[in-house]
Amino acid sequence: MNFFEIFYKEVWISANTSAVLTLVIVMTKRWHGHLSNDTHNGPQKFHVLLTPRIGGIAIFIGFLVGWKFSPQSLSQLLGPMLIAGLPVFVTGVVEDISKTVSPFKRLLAALVTGIAAYVLTGYTLNHIEIIGLDGMLAYLPVSILFTAFAVAGVTNAINIIDGFNGLAGGTLMICFAALGYVAWHVGDPQLAQLCMTMIFVLNGFMMFNYPFGKIFMGDGGAYLLGFILSWISVMLSMRNPHVSVWTPLLICCYPVNESLFSMGRRFWNKTHLQGADSLHLHSLIQTRMIRPHLSHLPAWFQNSLVAPFLWLYVLLFALIASILHDRSESLMIAYACSFALYTLIYWLIYRIKAV
């Protein structure tokens, strides 16, 4: 299949659906804003205006339209994923509206989603190319649970980085592009088309999220897209055995490293592992680099400047993963480098005096 054939014409219907519904949500917030608007309370709230956080609904409907109009070979992949993703999506939307769903319940929903994905698709991580662990993963129950926890981890990680205009959306688009390229390169056009569908639907939302921040994807969108990213990552290696399982991990290294670093920081500080704080890397970039030097700029513009810094980090390792997709040892070293670089960047920015 020619590379450009993965951009099947029906994908434009999905993208337009997402864009139109996102616009409708933005234009009608005066009627639903008392339920859908994000609050200003919390250590990670940097926006100034009340903003709808239910963009995930437009994204989900865009995916549904994509499933309806896509070729059968693609709809057979997308349909089960959307069904499996319902627990995290519904739980996330309820949180977006009620603001009362605990992090534990959302994590539990992510685990249920991971198990449901196995039931509907049959894919699990049965090896990670580490001696000892691979022997354990040969047992199906262990493989299912390990996969569910890995999926829940990535799902939650996307929600963690959803802190500034375009940050999560742009990161996801880069990750899906890299996964799609590798899938096409190794002869899996259906998975490549699935990734392109994700990108086009996300683009419909991003038109209003970046740079102006007129709408947020919310927990519903972040958890749904995090699950889809993690499950495509599972399928890429399981459908194509010569693609290392470390390829998608390196592609997704930014949200994964942010999540691991956050848990380590909170454990060290003896705070709740699932609590919120303002010490994420994206928060530090805003408060210790952008705000002190660009305080004269509008708040929405300051917020939109955070994402490009981290997109470069994501893009660097996504490119490396795409090139080394069948070289596990090199990918392991590259992942270690990604964590070391993240740690160095974090340390350098953290040392800057807060304003």
Query: pLDDT tens digits, residue range 303-324?
Result: 999 999 999 999 999 999 999 9
pLDDT at 132: 86
- What percent of the chain has pLDDT above 90? 79
pLDDT tens column, 281-303: 999 999 999 988 888 888 889 99
> What's the token pair of residue 291?
């705000």
Q: What token pair was written down for 251?
A: 């592609």
DSSP 280: S
8-state DSSP, 4: G
| CB atoms closer than 10 angstroms to residue 72 | 7
- Cα dihedral sign for 139, 235, 230, 328? positive
Q: Where are the beta strands (DSSP E) in 112-258?
A: none
Q: Residue 5: pLDDT above 60? A: no
- Residue 354 is predicted with a pLDDT of 65
pLDDT attached to residue 162: 94
Looking at residue 39, its pLDDT comes to 67
Residue 225 has pLDDT above 80, yes or no: yes
Gap between the terminal Cα atoms of the chain: 54
Q: What is the pLDDT of residue 9?
A: 67
**Quick check: 6 pLDDT over 90?**
no
What pLDDT was estimated at residue 300?
87
Cα 42 from Cα 277, distance rounded (Å) = 8
Task: Give the start-to-end residue ranges of the domains of the chain.
Answer: 3-350
Render pLDDT for 194-207 as a digit per residue (tens, 0 to 9).
Answer: 999 999 999 999 99
Nearest CA-CA partner of 307 in 151, 208, 112, 164: 164
CA distance 127 to 109: 24
| CA-angle at 150, arms to 85 and 82, nearest 5° | 10
Pick the range with the lowest mean pLDDT from 4-18, 76-90, 253-267. 4-18
Using a cut of 0.85, tell me whether the model's pTM lies above it: yes
Q: Is 276 helix (H, G, I), strand (E, B) or coil?
A: coil
